Structure 1
Amino acid sequence: MKKILIISLKVIGIILGIVVLYVLLGLLVPFIGVSAKDDGEKKEIPIYIYTNGVHTDIVMPVKNDLQDWGAKVPFSNTTSKRTDYQYIGIGWGDKGFYLDTPTWADLKFSTAFKAAFWMSESAMHCTYYYTMKEGDDCKMIMISRSQYKKLVEFVEAKFDRDKNGNFIVIPTNAVYSDNDAFYDAKGSYNFSYTCNTWANDALKAAGQKAALWTPTDFGIFRHYK
């Protein structure tokens, strides 16, 4: 009995140690920045980083001569079905969090556990906007055409596709408003690679300022004060 108790205490100690280490790394590593890379081209395309306080989305023009998101993320998949939106925000994350946890009050232990340990599927959350308003939760970044191409390639690569190469919409009523929809995605969410880690990597792919690594939106936005 005593041996079992000692083993149990050691296991609990290890788990608590991992949690403390993770929290410390999540707070400190984001202060290590990755500098933007100037490709020498004119910075003419506006993109935004936008957070709802938990998730960071990459917001891009709906359409320009380099990419037409409306053709790949159909307006018809939103409740409004309107076609006059000017921007699209895209974020990657755990499907359970997105679809089953509209607020923190709805969070279940099973959802959090699966998300933390590579045990659930992921999804892309796509939200259309008419305009973007800069503030503490929304920062505009001007990038070049070449940088935008790299960003688009990075974002598209995370979408799962059907046999015809189309993005796969997730039939659900768990949308947040009348201007968004969910799509199947590649990869598994986990404590070391979160929705914000993905957004941070998207900025790196586009040659923009970013944290070395971050699990939180704070780690991204601290580089855009």
Structure 2
Amino acid sequence: MKKLKNTFKVLLKSVLGIIAFLLVYALVIVIMSVITVNDNVVENNKNIPIYILSNGVHTDIVVPLKNEIKDWSQDISYLNTKAKDSTRQNLAFGWGDRGFYLDTPTWADLKVSTALNAITGLSSSAMHITFYGHLKEDEFCKQILISKTQYESLIAYFESSFQLNELGKIQQIGTHSYGKHDIFYEAKGSYNLFYTCNTWANQALKSAKQKSALWTVFDKGIFWHYE
């Protein structure tokens, strides 16, 4: 009886500890998500359009496929997509957990092992690239104009997120895709409870000296600063 009582106490303390952690975690997310950084950055000649794009959970950063500063088509070709559509001139970058991306096309396909590997940082990551045509601004899509210098910083951030092969080239992940206009590439880093796809996107905006959250794990923490 005493052993059962001690086991119950340990279990209760564990449950209370988890609840306390989740409450603190949620509070920190809220506080740090609403703190704006780069709010007063002054930059001239802001004429390069980029977009923040959300599906309601995950945030992509969308940039021109090519301009005088960077031609992404040299490394990321529309010919590698199923549609092979050359008319789409915007490119979305989205970093995330490899298991979620490749093995979980819908929430119904989510496995406990995939979720645990993701939140604990035990799995690898992938870069999801999607070709877009014209984008229309709404609550899930916001346009931002940035300068050449800011865009160069954003390019460097994107490039540093790819896992390169021995020849220094980005590596496509088989023929995986969600549709006809997207591709997956190997990426650096690990998704975890404190660094999610939205944290990566928020850091991308920070790198380009754009308004962003001090820290966030949710897309709302990014879009709140652009309402």
User: Per the shorter chain, which TM-score range?
Assistant: over 0.9
Determine the C-alpha separation between the residues in 1 that align with 2:148 and 2:196: 28
Match of 2:189 in 1: 187
Alignment of 1:10-159 (within 5 A): 10-36=13-39, 38-159=41-162
1:210 is the counterpart of 2:226: no
Root-mean-square deviation (Å): 1.3
Determine the C-alpha separation between the residues in 2 that align with 1:111 and 1:128: 27
Q: Is the 8 A contact 1:47 1:143 kept in 2?
A: yes
Match of 1:177 in 2: 179
The one-letter code of the counterpart of 1:157 is S
**Offset, 1:40:** 3.4
**Offset, 1:65:** 1.1
Q: Which runs of 5+ in 1 are unaligned?
A: none
**Offset, 1:37:** 5.3
**Offset, 1:8:** 2.0
Structure 1 residues 20-29 or 187-196, which shifts more? 20-29
1:156-182 per-position Cα deviation (integer Å, ceiling 9, x unaligned): 100001111111000144x22100010
**Offset, 1:39:** 4.8
Determine the C-alpha separation between the residues in 2 that align with 1:158 and 1:120: 16
Q: Which runs of 5+ in 2 are unaligned?
A: none
SS in 2 for 1:182: strand
Determine the C-alpha separation between the residues in 2 that align with 1:141 and 1:168: 29
The one-letter code of the counterpart of 1:56 is T
The one-letter code of the counterpart of 1:224 is Y
Q: Is the 8 A contact 1:41 1:144 kept in 2?
A: yes
Q: Is the 8 A contact 1:88 1:129 kept in 2?
A: yes
SS in 2 for 1:120: coil
SS in 1 for 2:8: helix
The one-letter code of the counterpart of 1:192 is F
SS in 1 for 2:168: coil
Determine the C-alpha separation between the residues in 2 that align with 1:197 and 1:9: 33
- Provide the identity percentage: 48
Looking at CA atoms only, which structure, 1 or 2, has the larger radius of gyration? 2
- Aligned length, in residue pairs: 224
Determine the C-alpha separation between the residues in 2 that align with 1:107 and 1:53: 18
Structure 1 residues 68-77 or 45-54, which shifts more? 68-77
Match of 1:168 in 2: 171
Determine the C-alpha separation between the residues in 1 that align with 2:21 and 2:194: 12
Query: Scaled by the length of structure 2, what TM-score is found?
Result: 0.95
The one-letter code of the counterpart of 1:29 is M
1:31-81 per-position Cα deviation (integer Å, ceiling 9, x unaligned): 111134535320010000000111100000000111111111122221112
Determine the C-alpha separation between the residues in 1 that align with 2:43 and 2:196: 32
